Structures are given as C-alpha cells and as structure tokens.
C-alpha cells in the first residue's frame, strides 16, 4: 500500500514513522507547504517526498493521511474525496461548525471512506470500559468523569487557531463518552478560567475548563481540561454504575499522588505527552485505517462522529460565553434550509 501524508509537523512526522512500521504499508510519501521540511523529514525517516501536496495527491496513492494545520483540513479532505482516495484526517475535519456539517454531507454522499483521528477509541483501557458498559457488568451507568490535562501549554501562536480548549482538547472526551456509553449528549453547562499565561485570554480562550453534560438517558458526565498539569500528561475516564465502577488511566503512570500515609501508588513515571500516553493506540488506529483503505472494514470513526463531538464543543463554548445551560437542539447538525417562497 502506498500512502501519502500531508503535513509533517509534530503529529505528522510521528504518524509517518508509525506508518512505515506497519506490515500493510509498502511506501510512505510526504509533502508539506514547507517543501524543505518535507524533504528533511523524508530524509531522516527514509521516506519519499513530493514537492507539494497537489503533486502528492496526483501521484497514484492507495490512501491519504491529513496531518496539516486545522485550517487546511477541509480543503484537503474535499480534494481527496474528489480524487476517490480513502482518507485519514486528524481532528477536527474543519475549523467551523458549518464547514464540518458540509463535509459530513459530502462524505455521506460519497463512497470514499474517511476515518477521523480520535485515537482513544483504539486505546485498550477505553475499549475495556466500553465492553464493561455494553455487557451490563457495571449495572446501570449513572455518572462518568472525564479529564484531559496537558502537562504544559502549547506555543502561544497555536492558541488563536486552535478553536479553544473545548474544541481542541475536550473534544476527545466528548467523542469517547459517546463511544463508551453509546449515548448522545442532550445538554451542557460549561465554564472556564485563566490562571496562567496571558495569551489564552488574549485569544478569547481559557487555560482551564469544566463542563457538566447530561446524556440522553439522564447519565451525568463531568469533563475537565487544563493546559497546566505539571505532574504529567493526565488523561482518564471513570465510569460509575449501580453494580461497579471502572477507570481508564489508573496505572503506575498516573500523574496524581496520594495524600494518604503509607500509600506508594502510583510508582511512576508519569507520561509527558499525548504521543507517549497513546503510543499503542496510534499504532492500532493507523492499522485500522489500512484495513479501511483496503476495503476490508468500514470506517470506525466517521465524519459524522467528528461532527457530533464538535457540536458538543460548540455547545460548551456557547454555554461558557453566555453563562447558561445549552441544549444540543440549539446546535445544528444539518445545513440551514431556506423556506421556499410562495
């Protein structure tokens, strides 16, 4: 299988390296708006490179991976669909809700498979939690606690184009809550504050946020996010039921210390980045994409899945801004239709 990859920044170079180690992949060809960077990454990893992304897309690919900046995702996904190339796209598929809705409709009207990069769906812990819920092992699920706490904030230049902490960070929690429970979000109430660098507030964002979600079956979810978790990269999920509870991320890498005397758990070391935390999940995710591209399986995470998570993030931003609960019915999932005039 010959796979093209557009965008060789941090996650792009990481995915390129992962792809080269997969049995299904014969060749990886990379391209970037910065042609010199693409050539350097290709040389370092023993890959091929194309002079630009248009040339890459026209070079006879079996599959295409989009890991560019968010602002380029939508246009590249449209190009790939038009070219009939099975595509893996890192989240989000677009920077705005309207464009995400448009791409959802375009993708669903096409026979070209698209796999969106929500890697937690391929993490063994989250899969175990999903199985516990599906089997009834935990009884009636009444509450979940989800968190994504980055060890340190990204560069200041990233924040104005990130979409905000809910769209950039918590969106992973919103997706995995749907995946684990099998239910949709009905209402949200969200808030956030800044206690760190001034560039968050300058971009209209916050460095720490919290949301209370109510699912369509009445289950309550609390989701927290921060850019400042100095003890380590901390991503967890707790699922609490009438017959038992289960936790994802509760191992010796936990970036949390006990205040109780004599307790030595966790032994450490803590994870320092999301790539380290989800190394196995990323490999499993791209292996699954190869199966999708080969036509062996349907996409395990569609553009509509991405839309649903994005809608929840939109609702949280609206709730934070207006300081009120927001019903998901307020957030569109289809284009606005103009009423026909008589």
CB proximity list for 149: less than 8 A, separation 6 or greater? 224, 225, 226, 228, 229, 233, 234, 235, 255
Does 179 share its domain with 295?
no
Under 8 Å between Cβ of 76 and 66: yes
Q: Which neighbouring-strand residues pair with 90? A: 117
pLDDT given for residue 332 in this prediction:
97
For 118-141, what is each residue's pLDDT tens digit? 999 999 999 999 999 999 999 999
Residue 105: per-residue pLDDT: 98
Compute the C-alpha angle 26/29/33, nearest 5°.
165
Over the stretch 215-265, which tens digit does the pLDDT of each residue have? 999 999 999 999 999 999 999 999 999 999 999 999 999 999 999 999 999
Q: What is the pLDDT of residues 85-109, one digit of tens each?
A: 999 999 999 999 999 999 999 999 9
Close Cβ partners of 75 (under 8 Å, ≥ 6 residues apart):
none
pLDDT score recorded for residue 339:
45
Helix, strand and coil percent figures for the chain, each rounded to 5: 40, 20, 40
Q: Are residues 62 and 99 in the same domain?
A: yes
CATH number at residue 154: 3.30.360.10
- Is residue 333 assigned to a domain? no
Based on the domain organization, do 78 and 220 belong to the same domain?
no
Segment 184-201, tens digit of pLDDT: 999 999 999 999 999 999
The pTM of the full predicted model, rounded to 2 decimals, is 0.95
**Does 15 share its domain with 78?**
yes
Structure tokens at 342: 């008589």
* Inter-CA distances, 123 with 116, 120, 213, 279, 305, Å: 15, 5, 23, 9, 17
Question: Do 233 and 315 fall within a single domain?
Answer: yes
Domain membership of residue 339 (yes or no) is no
Strand 208-215 versus strand 326-327 pairing type? unpaired
Fill in the DSSP letter of residue 109: T
pLDDT average, residue stretch 7-32: 97
Tell me whether residue 342 is in a domain: no
Cβ-based neighbours of 131, under 8 Å, separated by 6 or more: 137
Mean pLDDT estimate for the chain = 96
Q: Which domain holds residue 182?
A: 124-272+308-327
pLDDT class of 282 with cuts at 50, 70, 90: very high
pLDDT at residue 336, as a whole number? 80
Kindly tell me if the per-residue pLDDT of 340 is higher than 90.
no
pLDDT digits (tens, 9 = 90+) for 285-320: 999 999 999 999 999 999 999 999 999 999 999 999
């Amino acid at each position: 299988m010959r796979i093209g990859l557009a965008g060789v920044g941090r996650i792009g170079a990481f995915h390129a390296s992962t792809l080269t180690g997969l049995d299904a992949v014969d060749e990886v060809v990379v391209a970037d708006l910065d042609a010199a960077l693409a050539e350097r990454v290709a040389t370092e990893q023993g890959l091929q490179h194309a002079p630009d992304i248009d040339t890459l897309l026209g070079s006879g690919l079996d599959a295409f991976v989009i890991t560019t900046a968010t602002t380029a995702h939508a246009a590249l996904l449209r190009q790939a669909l038009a070219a009939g190339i099975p595509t893996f796209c890192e989240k989000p598929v677009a920077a705005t809700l309207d464009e995400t809705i448009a791409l959802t409709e375009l993708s669903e009207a096409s026979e070209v498979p698209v796999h969106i990069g929500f890697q937690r769906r391929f993490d063994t812990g989250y899969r175990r939690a999903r199985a516990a819920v599906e089997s009834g092992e935990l009884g009636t699920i009444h509450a979940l606690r989800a968190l994504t706490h980055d060890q340190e904030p990204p560069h200041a230049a990233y924040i104005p184009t990130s979409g905000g902490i809910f769209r950039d960070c918590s969106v992973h929690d919103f997706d995995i809550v749907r995946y684990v429970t099998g239910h949709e979000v009905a209402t949200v109430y969200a808030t956030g504050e800044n206690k760190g660098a001034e560039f968050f507030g300058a971009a209209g964002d916050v460095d720490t946020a919290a949301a209370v979600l109510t699912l369509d079956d009445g289950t309550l979810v609390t989701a927290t996010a921060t850019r400042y978790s100095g003890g380590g990269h901390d991503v967890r999920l707790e699922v609490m039921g009438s017959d038992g509870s289960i936790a994802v991320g509760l191992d010796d890498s936990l970036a949390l210390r006990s205040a109780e005397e004599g307790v030595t758990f966790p032994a450490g070391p803590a994870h320092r980045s999301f790539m380290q935390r989800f190394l196995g999940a990323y490999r499993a995710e791209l292996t699954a994409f190869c199966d999708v591209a080969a036509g062996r399986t349907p996409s395990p995470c569609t553009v509509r899945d991405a839309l649903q998570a994005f809608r929840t993030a939109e609702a949280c931003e609206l709730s934070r801004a207006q300081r009120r609960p927001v019903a998901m019915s307020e957030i569109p999932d289809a284009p606005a239709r103009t009423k026909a005039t008589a």
